[in-house]
């Protein structure tokens, strides 16, 4: 199982960053590797808003689409993405958003994944690790574009 964790300070509020990450349909506009997102269904449960989605990712000649379950919990300021369908054996990604003084936020992102194919794991694993390190920058740049100047300098 591969794992990537990061915590990052942002000059934008937790709510702003949460809403940006929760807006899955916009990912192809700014997120590295993400080519398309299709929301299959949207429901509300005690845990929050639950989406089922298909995300298509690509890098050079490699293209994969995976189905995931996304739980958007506004009360806890948490977003969880899970998948156990091809190309993954298992994928769990969790975002947490918290306030940081003065007026900014701290964003924690944790993902664990394992591909079904060992060859795909070897090929995509390194590329995924590099991409995850760029995701935080992509979300921060998107927040700057949407919300203008950050409240604080991160």
pLDDT of residue 153: 46
pLDDT tens digits, one per residue of 64-101: 888 999 999 999 999 999 998 888 899 999 999 999 87
In sequence order, what are the beta bridge partners of 77? none
Average pLDDT, the chain: 87
Residue 5: pLDDT over 90:
no
Q: Which residue has the tokens 């969880």?
A: 80
pLDDT of residue 129: 64
Dist. CA 110–CA 37, nearest whole Å? 21
Region 43-63: mean pLDDT is 89
Residue 19 token pair:
């809403």
**Residue 71 near residue 49, CB atoms below 8 Å:** yes
Residue 52: pLDDT over 70:
yes
**Residue 125 near residue 112, CB atoms below 8 Å:** no
Give me the CATH topology for the region 2-147: Alpha-D-Glucose-1,6-Bisphosphate; Chain A, domain 4 (3.30.530)
Residue 125: pLDDT over 60:
yes
pLDDT tens digits, one per residue of 13-28: 999 999 999 999 999 9
pTM attached to this predicted model: 0.86
Domain ranges of the chain: 2-147
């Amino acid at each position: 199982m591969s794992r990537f964790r990061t915590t990052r300070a942002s000059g934008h509020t937790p709510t702003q960053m949460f809403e940006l990450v929760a807006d899955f349909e916009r990912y192809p506009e700014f997120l590295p590797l993400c080519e398309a997102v299709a929301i299959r269904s949207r429901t509300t449960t005690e845990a929050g808003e639950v989406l089922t989605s298909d995300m298509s990712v690509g890098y050079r000649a490699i293209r994969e689409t995976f189905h995931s379950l996304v739980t958007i919990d506004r009360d806890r300021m948490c977003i969880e993405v899970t998948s156990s369908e091809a190309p993954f054996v298992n994928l769990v990604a969790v975002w947490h958003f918290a306030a940081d003084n003065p007026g900014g936020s701290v964003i924690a992102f944790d993902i664990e994944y394992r591909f079904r194919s060992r060859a795909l794991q070897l090929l995509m694993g390194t590329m995924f690790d590099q991409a995850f390190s760029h995701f935080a920058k992509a979300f921060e740049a998107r927040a700057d574009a949407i919300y203008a100047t950050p409240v604080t300098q991160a």
